[in-house]
Chains A and B, each alone.
Chain A
Amino acid sequence: MNGPQDLGGQMGFGPVAPAKDEPIFHAEWEKRALGVTLCAGAMGAWNIDESRHTRESLHPADYYASTYYEIWIKALEGLLQKHGFVTPGDLAAGTAVDPAAEPKRVLKAENVPAALAKGGPCDRPVAAHARFSAGQRVRTRNFHPAGHTRLPRYARGKEGVIDAVREGYVFPDTNAHGRGENPQWVYTVAFSAPELWGDGADPTLTVSIDAWESYLEPA
């Protein structure tokens, strides 16, 4: 979706202003926000793509006014309600008042190290051969889906070159919406800055994205 998350090339947000010796967490609640988000995800009711799509579906004014942990928590409240774990009544009361759906699993403290060390690999076998090969010129499709996609707007309808053929990865555009993993080949596609940004672009700049096969057509 052309949501607030799709930031590449947007203007007006000001300087980056990196903090010196920034702490890992800025407040105690950020620690709990990280932990609650990971533990809730570990219940297995949604995947990372649905989670990302819920975050980018926040109202743009809300998204831009929020820090990243705030975005996580706001989206998490939505996911928990959508999947029947939490009700508006629970949130209004600030404690558990309604029954909850049954989770697939509950992440216990003793299982955390193994769960984090394992992560959630998204590589899957793809029966078909990769359609494109390194060095080939391709054009990204120009589409504007209302649902989730990982093809950023600045790189749609642009001509680039296949830099590397990666692996078969779960396809976020369907996986985010419960329509299956449908793995596809993923490619790193490199674009010249003039192709992306036109007149006045930095001639020394090349930008690449990682694109699923169905995002691409032969150039």
Chain B
Amino acid sequence: MAARVRALETILTRKGLIDSAAIDVIVDTYETKVGPRNGARVVARAWSDAEFADWLKRDATAAIASLGYTGRQGEHMQAVFNTDETHNLVVCTLCSCYPWSVLGLPPVWYKAPPYRSRAVIDPRGVLAEFGLKLADGKKIRVWDSTAELRYLVVPQRPSGTEGWSEERLADLVTRDSMIGTGVAREAL
């Protein structure tokens, strides 16, 4: 596959259809600028600021854009909040829809058949494979991203974090907790 991709890049570059330097900028963007730290900052702000949390609930696209996170595969956003009663989980059974603007590029497992096939029929079994065991009575809500709306899970704020700064709170927000295959880290 490496040779096949190299050949394709060569063909398109020699025909003047693509700019190899543009590829470098795209790669750098998703390696160093756009990743789950963006989403973690959104969650930390929501934990710290009730007004922002309310805005995020009503109009996630605008609330997230106010922190500077916009664009490709995040054009239309919906935030879903975990509660004591309900745990949220996001999947794209049909392809690999994922909120790039706040989480970066999706991990391999998110795009692969085991997760895509089972998240909608056996989410508890899937979560167990991530080491996450939900309380028996807890409700699970699975969001299958079948349109261009991208979902961000807002995990519950860990106890013992009262008065923490947003930067410190953001350190507790893992990528998986914003997909729903995990929860936020405990405060140490």
Binding site for B on A (CB under 8 A): 5-11, 13-19, 22, 24-29, 31-36, 38-40, 43, 52, 55-56, 64, 67-70, 73, 76-77, 80, 85-86, 90-91, 94-96, 100, 103, 106-109, 111-113, 115-123, 150-152, 154-155, 166-167, 169-170, 186, 188, 190, 193, 196-197, 201-202, 204-212
A7, A94, A201: the one contacting B116 at CB < 8 Å is A7
Question: A36-B5, A210-B146 given. 5 additional CB < 8 A pairs?
Answer: A18-B129, A26-B108, A56-B94, A205-B142, A207-B144
What separation, in Å, do the CA atoms of A90 and B116 have in the docked complex? Answer: 35
Q: How far is the CA of A40 from the CA of B11 in the complex (A)?
A: 12
Kindly state whether residue B188 has any CB partner on chain A within 8 Å: no
Q: Are A32 and B9 in contact (CB under 8 A)?
A: yes
Q: Answer whether A11 and B1 are a contact pair too, CB < 8 Å, given A18-B129, A18-B181.
A: no
- A56 and B138 CA atoms in complex are apart in Å by 35
Residue of A nearest to B87 (CB): A204
B112 at the interface (CB under 8 A from A): yes
Q: Among the interface residues B70, B96, B108, B130, which one has the most CB atoms of the partner chain A within 10 A?
A: B108
Would you call A116 and B72 a contact (CB within 8 A)? Answer: yes
A8 to B143, CA, bound (A): 12
25 contacts between A and B (CB under 8 A): A8-B144, A18-B107, A19-B107, A19-B108, A24-B31, A26-B108, A29-B5, A34-B27, A73-B5, A85-B17, A91-B11, A94-B11, A95-B10, A107-B22, A108-B22, A109-B25, A112-B25, A118-B72, A119-B73, A155-B144, A201-B121, A202-B140, A206-B139, A207-B144, A210-B149
